[in-house]
Amino acid sequence: MDAIVPILVLTLIVATFGSLLVYVSSILGPKKHATHAKYMPYECGLPGQESSKTNVSVRYYLTAILFIVFDIEILFMYPWALTYREFVEAGHGAYIFWVMFVFIALFVFGLVWEVRSKALEWD
Amino acid sequence: MLSNLFSIGIGHYLFVSGALFVMGMLGVLLRKNILVILMSIELMLNAVNVAFVTFAYYLNDVNGAVIVLFVIAIAATEAAVGLALVVLLYKNFKEVNIRFFEHLKG
Amino acid sequence: MFYVLLFAPLLGFLINGFRFRSTNAKLAGTIASGAILLSFISALFYFGQLIKMPAEARSLSFILFDWIQVGDFSAQMGFTLDPLSMVMTLIITGVGFLIHLFSVGYMDHDERPAKYFAYLNFFVFNMLLLVLGNNLLVMFVGWEGVGLCSYLLIGFWFSDPEKAAAGMKAFITNRIGDAGFLLGIFTIFLTFGTVTFTEIASSVPAEPLTGWTSPITLACLFLFIGAMGKSAQIPLYVWLPDAMAGPTPVSALIHAATMVTAGVYMIIRMNVLFLAAPNAMMIVAIVGALTALMAATIGLAQNDIKKVLAYSTVSQLGYMFLAVGVGAFGAGLAHLMTHAFFKALMFLGSGSVIHAMHEEQDMRKMGGLKKYMPITHATFVCGWLAIIGFPFFSGFFSKDEILWMSFHSPRGHWLLWVVGVIAAMFTAFYMTRLMAMTFWGKSRVPESIHPHESPVTMTIPLIVLGFLSVFAGWLCVPHGLGSVLPGHPHNFLDQWIHPLMGKLEMGHGSLGMEFGLMGVSLVLVFASAFMAYRFYVVDPSLPQKAQARVKGLYDLVANKYWVDEGYFKFIINPLVRLSRHLWADVDVKLIDRATYSISDLFKNAGGGLRMVQSGNMQVYALYILIGVVVSLFFLMAR
Amino acid sequence: MAEVVIFYVFSAVTLFGALGVILHPNPIICALHLVATMCGIAGLFFGLNAPFIAAVQLMVYAGAVMVLFLFVVMIFNLKQEGKHIFSPGQFTNGLKVLFGGMFAGLLLSSILFKINNFGYLTPDKAAPQFEVKNIAKVMFTDYVFSFEILGLLLLVIPIGTVALSRVRGGTHAK
Amino acid sequence: MGSDLFEISVNIGKMLGIFLLMVQMVPLLVWVERRGSAFIQNRFGPNRVGPLGLTQLLADAVKFLFKEEFRPPASVAFLYYAAPVLALIPGALAFASIPLAPPFEVTFNGQTYKFLFQVFDLGIGIVFVLGISSLGAYALLFAGWGSGNKYSLMGALRASAQMISYELALGLSLVGILLIFGTFSFSEMVEMQRGPLSFTFLGQPTTISFLPNWGIFYQPLGFILFFAATFAETNRAPFDLPEAEAELVAGYHTEYGGLKMLMFYIGEYGHMMVASALATTFYFGGYELPFGSESLQQSFSPLAYSFILFGCFLTKVLVFLWIFIWVRWTLPRFRYDQLMDLGWKTMLPWALFNTVLTAVVVVLFHSSGS
C-alpha cells in the first residue's frame, strides 16, 4: 500500500516535466502571424475535403466490445495461472485444469463464432 | 470530531461509496443523454464495488474481493451491451435523448 | 464407473440428439450401441463386485446430489445397486444392447435413424433411472421418462395418423396409471414420511393388515394402478397391442423386455409393503390371472404376427403379476427374466420376418418361411419351446414355479392354478399356430415378395437370445424340481434376491403334489400344441370348420371382447359429451361472463393507472427510488 | 499518514470526476471525467490493500470500458442537441431531487453517525486475505460454478452485441 | 517513501534517476535508429555533427526547443495539450515498477537501510504494468480527438483498436509465464530464474548445467507471441499503421510539432524500453547473470554487485532495443486487415494453445512425483 506514494509522486514529476516542456516551447518559440491556410486542418496541403463528420467503420467499436469481453476472460485466467501450481502440488491438478478448460472451451467457442460471423473481417 | 477526519476507518470509505452511489443515481434520474445515463449506471456499480472491498478489508473476509471481480466483469459486459443498443438506437433515430424513446407508453 | 453405467446412454442420446438430422444409420447405430455396450460392461463389472460381497451386504449406493429439501420432505438423486436392480440392469443393458445391434440392420433404410437411436438411448437411460433409483421419486422420473420414450417411439412413423394415434393412446392410458402411481407415492409419504425404499421397508409393520381401507392397502392399490398402466393389465391393457405400430425392435425392447415389466419390478421392489397388505396382493393375483387368460384367448384369433406376440406379452405379464400376487417374488422375477429373453427373441424374429417380407405383418400371407430363413426359424423355435414351457427350456422352469406357487402359497388358491393352466394351454395353442402359419406348412407368400435371410447384425442378436432362451432357465430351477434333477441345481435367482424379500412362510408342499400338477399342465400343453399343429399344418381346412362351429365365441375373441369399443361407448364418448356440455353451458355462459366483467373492471381501472406508465424510464427509476426511500424509513423507524 | 493522503487524494479525484459526469453537458468530457473517477476508485482500492482489484479496475474500466465509451462518442459524434442537459419536467425533476436528497441524507447520515461505532472493525493489515492466491483459491473452489456461468455469459455477450450491431433498420428487420 | 530524510531523499533521487534514464535513452536511441537504419540501408546517416554524429542529438533538441508553438483553432485546448503529457506517464510508471537490479543495503549514520533497485514494488508487477499501459490508449484518443482533424481521429482510432487487439494476445501469452512461475512479482520471477536450468520432470529433479534457468526455455512459443505483440503495442514497424503516411498523413500526431511531438517520441521509445525490460525480466533472467554469479558476488561489495547486475540488465535491454530497430528497417508494413487478422485469428489462438499446453505440461511434470 505504501508503494502508492511513489506512484503518486512519480506521476506528479512526469506530469510536471511534460507540462514544463509544453510551456517552455511556448515561451521560446517564435510568434508568427498566422494565415488562414495555416489554421486549416492539415490534410497534406490539399484544401479540407469536408467536415469532421466522417463515416468511420463500425468495426472499431465492435473490436472494442470484443476486446472488453476477451480482456475479462484473460483477467480471470491470471488468478488461475497464479494458483495453478499450488493446486497441482496439492493433488488437485485435474480439477483445476478442467475448471479452466471449460472456461477456455467457451472462450474458443466464442472466438470461433466471431471469426465465422465475419465480425473480425476488415476490408 | 476533527480527529475522525485523520484516522481513516471504514466510515470514510463507505461515505465515499455512498456519495458516489447517490451521484450516479441522480445522473440516472436527471440526465437527458442516454450515454451519460449509462455512465451514471457505471458510477453506481462502482460505488457498490467500493463498498464491497471496504467491507472485505475491514471484516477480513476474502469473499468481498471475489464478488467484486465478478461485479466488474458483469458490469463491463453490461456496458458493452448497453453501448451496442445505444449505437443501434442512434443509427436508426439519430437521437440520444432518452425522452425521445417513450414508445412503451401505456 | 457407476456414472458410466448410468450416463453412457444419456451421452449417446445427446450425441445422436444433436445430430438428429443425420441419415447415416450405421454411424448413429454404432454410437448408440457403443453407449449401451459401455453401460453393459460397467454393469458386468458391478455384478462381479456384488458377487464378491457377502450376501447380506450386497448393496452399493451412489448419491448424485440432494434433489429436494422441503421441510420434512427430502429426496436425493440417489441410486442403489442391489441384487434386484442388478438383475434388471443386466437385462436392460444386455438385451438392450442386442436390440440396438439388431436395429442397426433393421433401421438401415429409415429416414431418421439418428432420431430413432437417440430415443432408444434415452429410453435406456430412463429405464436405468427407474430401476436404479433409491427412492420412489427417482423411480417416478424414470417411469415418466420411459413413458415419454415409449410414446415417441410408438409414434416414430408419425406421418401415418394411425401410428401417431397409437402413440397417443399409449400415452393417455399410461397417464391414468401414472396418476395412480403418483397417488400411491403421496399415500406412502403421508403414511411413512419418506419415499426412500429402504426406509419404507424398515418402517412397515410386521403384521399384515387385513382391512381394505388401511393406508398401506390403499397405497398398494394405487401403486398397482400405476403398474396396470405401465404393464398393460386389465383394464388398462388396451394400449399395448396398438403399440405394435412402432418399429419392431422397439416392440421387443420396450413392449416386451423392459418397460412393460416395470410394474412387476416396482411391486417386487415394494414387496415388503405388499406383503403387509394381503387384500391388495389378492387383487394383484386375480387381475394377473384374469389378464393372462383373457389375453391368451384373444391371441388365439389374431392374424397379425405382432399382435399375437403383443397379446402373448400381456398374457405373460399377467403370469408375472399372478406370481407376485401370490407372494412368489422370486418366481415373478425369474419369469420376468426368461420372458425378457424369449419374448425379445420372438419380437426380433418377427422383425426379421417382417423385414424379409417387406413390411408384411399378416400371417395369412406367410407360411413355409423355414426354408428361406433358417437361422430365424431355428432361433424362433427356441423361443417357441421356451414360451410353451417345453421341459428344460427356460420358460418351463419359471412358468412351472409360478403355477406351483399359485397353488401352494398361503396367498394362493387352486382356482388361480386352474386359470393359469388354462392360460398356459391357450398359450401353447396360439404360439404353435403362429409357428405353423409363419414358418411351416405351405407357402402363401405372394409372388411379388422374395423372402431372404436377414443380415448378420440382425441374426447375431437372434442367436444370442436364442441361446439365452434355452439355457437361462437353469438360473431359476424351482426348489422341488432341483432336488430330483441330476446335480441338484439351486434356484440361484431366488437366493440372489433373497436378502431383499419380506418374510412369507411358504411351508413345504409335498413333492408328489408338485410333480402331479406339473404333469397335468404339461399334458394339457402338449395336447393343445399338438391340436394346433394338426389344425394349421396337417389339415389347414380344419380351422374354418371349427370357427363355423363356435362362431359367436370366435367373433367375441377375434374382436378382442369389444373392449376398445366398450371403452369408447361407455367412457370416452360420455366424457366428450360431458365436456362439450361443460364448455358450452358452464364455461361460456357462466365463467367467461364472470371473468369478462372482472376484466372489464380492471381494464377501466388500468386505463386510469395508465398515466403512471409514461414510458419515461427515468420516472420509472423515480418510482423505484421512492419505494427505496419509503422502505428505508420503515427500517430506520423500527 | 500515507493512508490519509491516499484516501483524500483519491476520493477527491473520484468525487470530482463523478460530479463532472453528471453535470457536464458534453458527453465526451463526461466520459473523460468518468475515466478520472475510475482511476480514483482504483487508487481507493490500493488504499484498501487490494492492489490486484485496483489493477483489474484499471484494465477493465479505464483500459477497456471507457475506451469503448470514447470510441462510441467519437465515431458517432454523439453531441447533445439543444442546451438542456437534464430531462424536462419540473414536477418530476423536483420529486427526483427531493427523494434523491432524502435517500442521500438517510444513507450518508447513517454512515456518518456510525463512524465511531465502526471502531471495533480493525483490518488485519498483515493478513493475507487479499493476496491474489487467496482470492483465486476461493474463486476456483467455492465460486467455481459462478465462474463457469460467467464464462458462459462472456460467450453470449459478444454474440449478442455482434448480432445487434449487424441489424439494419430496426430490431425486426431482416 | 521512507522513515527519515535520508531514505526519502535517496528514494526521490532513485525515482528521478530512473525516470531520467528513460528520458535520456531517447536521444541515444534516435541516434542509434538513424545510424542503424543507414547501416541497414547502406547509407551513412547523420555523421557530421560531432564524433560519429553523436552531437546531432543536441542540435535536434535545440531545434525542437525553438519551434513555434501552434495550436489549430479546431482543436480542444485541454485535450490537445494533455495528450503528449499523458503519453509519457504510462511508460514512466511501468518502467519504474521493473526491478533493474537486486535490492542493496547502505549503512548511513550507523543505520542500515535497504533500497530496492526500482522505484516501487507492488508485488503484483505484471498486472500493474498491464493496467497502466492500458491507459496508453488515452493519449492517442486525446490527441486524435483534440486535434480536430479527421486524419488524426482516424489514426487514433486505428492505433487504439490495434493496441487493444494486441493487448489480448500480449496478456494471454503471459499466462504461460504465470503458470510456470506462479507469481505476479517481477523480483520473485527473477529470483526463480537464477542458476542453471533445473526443473522437475515426472517427479525427478533434473538439472541441465550448461543453460541458464531462463523463462525462454520454458516458454519459447510464449516469448515469440509476447515479443510480436509488443511490437504492435508500441506501434512500431511492421505494425506502424496508425502513422501510415501514405494513408493517414502522420496519424494521430499530425497536428503536433516541436516539443509536443518530441514527447510522443519519448512515449514511444519509453514503451519500447518497457517492452524490452519486460521481455528481459520474463524470459531472459532479468538482471541475473547467465553464469558465474556466485563468484562475482563474493568478489565485489553488495553495492558494486548490484550495479554490475544493473549493467547486465541494461545490456540485455539494449539488445532488445536493437532488435526493435533492426526489425523496423527490415520488414515491410502490414495492411490493416492483415494486421487485425494476425492479432485475432493467429496470435490469440496460438496464445490460447500455449496456455493449455503449458497447463498440461505443468500437470504432467508436477503431479506424478507426489
Every domain of chain E and the residues it spans: 5-367
Domain that holds residue D137: 128-174
Domain termination residue (choose one: C523, C558, C593): C558
Per the CB < 8 Å rule, is E68 touching A6? no
Per the CB < 8 Å rule, is C628 touching D92? no
Q: Which chains touch E (3 or more CB pairs under 8 A)?
A: A, D
In CATH, the architecture of B2-100 is Orthogonal Bundle (1.10)
Average pLDDT over residues C332-343: 91
The residue ranking higher by pLDDT, D163 or E132, is E132
Out of E85, E151, E171, whose CB is closest to A74? E171
Same domain flag for C372 and C350 = yes
Domain termination residue (choose one: D62, D78, D94): D78
* CA atoms lying within 13 Å on the CB side of residue C54: 2
CB C44 within 8 A of CB C156: no
Q: With contacts defined as CB-CB under 8 Å, which chain A residues touch E74?
A: 41, 52
- Mean predicted lDDT score pLDDT of chain C: 86
Chains C and A touch (3+ CB pairs under 8 A): no
Residue D94, min C-alpha distance to chain C (Å):
11
Supply the pLDDT for residue B47.
Answer: 94
Tell me if chain B has a CB within 8 Å of the CB of A10.
no
> What are the distances in angstroms from CA B62 to CA A38, B52, C174, C322, D144?
59, 10, 54, 65, 15
Residue D70, min C-alpha distance to chain E (Å):
8
Q: For A8, which residue in chain E has the nearest alpha carbon?
A: E93
Residue D48, min C-alpha distance to chain B (Å):
6
CA distance C567 to C575: 11
Domain that holds residue A48: 4-116
Phi then psi dihedrals of residue A42, to 5 deg:
-80, 115
Residue A20 lies in a domain: yes
**What confidence tens digit (pLDDT) does each residue in B22-62 have?**
999 999 988 888 888 899 999 999 999 999 998 888 888 88
Residue D6 lies in a domain: yes
Residue D33, min C-alpha distance to chain B (Å):
10
Question: What does R_g of chain D's alpha carbons equal in angstroms?
Answer: 21
What is the pTM for the complete model shown? 0.65
CB C596 within 8 A of CB B87: no
Supply the pLDDT for residue C409.
Answer: 83
Residue B105, min C-alpha distance to chain C (Å):
4
C244: its cell numbers: 405394435
Q: How many residues does chain E have?
A: 370
Least confident of C382-386, D167-171, E171-175: D167-171
**What confidence tens digit (pLDDT) does each residue in E174-209 have?**
998 888 888 888 888 888 888 788 777 766 777 887
Out of B98, B101, B105, whose CB is closest to C613? B105
Residue D23, min C-alpha distance to chain A (Å):
26
Strand C73-81, strand C60-70: pairing: antiparallel
**Locus of grid cell 534517476:** E17
Q: How far is CA C398 from the centre of its chain?
A: 18
Domain termination residue (choose one: D41, D62, D78): D78
Domain that holds residue C576: 563-637
Range D33-72 burial, b when 16+ CB lie within 10 A, else e: bbbbbbbbbbbbbbbbbbbbbbbbbbbbbbbbbbbbbbbb
Per the CB < 8 Å rule, is C625 touching D106? no
Q: With contacts defined as CB-CB under 8 Å, which chain A residues touch D126?
A: none
Confidence at E249, pLDDT banded by 50, 70, 90: low
- Mean predicted lDDT score pLDDT of chain A: 79
What is the CATH classification number for the domain harbouring A100? 1.20.58.1610
Same domain flag for C544 and C608 = no
Residue D100 lies in a domain: no
Same domain flag for C327 and C358 = yes
Supply the pLDDT for residue E41.
Answer: 86
Tell me if chain A has a CB within 8 Å of the CB of E120.
yes
Per the CB < 8 Å rule, is D96 touching C618? yes
ipTM for the whole predicted complex goes beyond 0.85: no
Q: With contacts defined as CB-CB under 8 Å, which chain B residues touch C613?
A: 104-106
Residue D113 lies in a domain: no
Out of D95, D102, D110, whose CB is closest to C622? D95
The H-or-E segment that residue E155 falls in is: helix E150-181
Structural domains of chain A, count = 1
Per the CB < 8 Å rule, is D140 touching A117? no
| SS3 label, residue D173 | coil
Cis peptide before E72 (omega within 30 of 0): no
Least confident of A65-69, C355-359, D80-84: D80-84
Res. E123: pLDDT tops 70: yes
Q: How far apart are the first and last CA of chain A?
A: 47
What is the CATH classification number for the domain harbouring D23? 1.20.120.1200
Residue D173 lies in a domain: yes
CB B82 within 8 A of CB B38: yes
Per the CB < 8 Å rule, is B87 touching D72? yes
**What confidence tens digit (pLDDT) does each residue in E56-80 have?**
888 888 888 887 777 777 778 888 8
**What confidence tens digit (pLDDT) does each residue in D32-72 have?**
899 999 999 999 998 888 888 988 998 898 888 988 888 88
CA distance C602 to C597: 9
The residue ranking higher by pLDDT, C544 or C631, is C631
Question: What does R_g of chain A's alpha carbons equal in angstroms?
Answer: 26
Same domain flag for C479 and C581 = no
**What confidence tens digit (pLDDT) does each residue in C280-336 have?**
888 999 999 999 988 888 888 888 888 899 999 999 999 999 999 888 888 899 999
Long-range contacts of C50-56 (CB under 8 A, 24+ apart): C50/C81, C50/C82, C50/C83, C50/C86, C55/C495, C55/C498, C55/C499, C56/C499
Out of D2, D136, D147, whose CB is closest to A2? D2
Residue D157 lies in a domain: yes
E286: its cell numbers: 532479468
Residue A103 lies in a domain: yes
Cis peptide before C235 (omega within 30 of 0): yes
C241 closest CA partner among C147, C178, C154: C154
Structural domains of chain D, count = 2
CA distance E262 to A25: 11
The residue ranking higher by pLDDT, C561 or E311, is E311
Confidence at C224, pLDDT banded by 50, 70, 90: very high
Residue A54 lies in a domain: yes
Tell me if chain E has a CB within 8 Å of the CB of A95.
no
Out of C619, C625, C632, whose CB is closest to D100? C625
Per the CB < 8 Å rule, is D92 touching C632? no
Residue B105, min C-alpha distance to chain A (Å):
31
Domain termination residue (choose one: C91, C114, C134): C134
Q: Say how many CB pairs under 8 Å bridge C and D.
A: 28
Tell me if chain E has a CB within 8 Å of the CB of D68.
no
The residue ranking higher by pLDDT, C144 or A91, is C144
CA distance C80 to C84: 10
Supply the pLDDT for residue C265.
Answer: 92
Same domain flag for C197 and C336 = yes
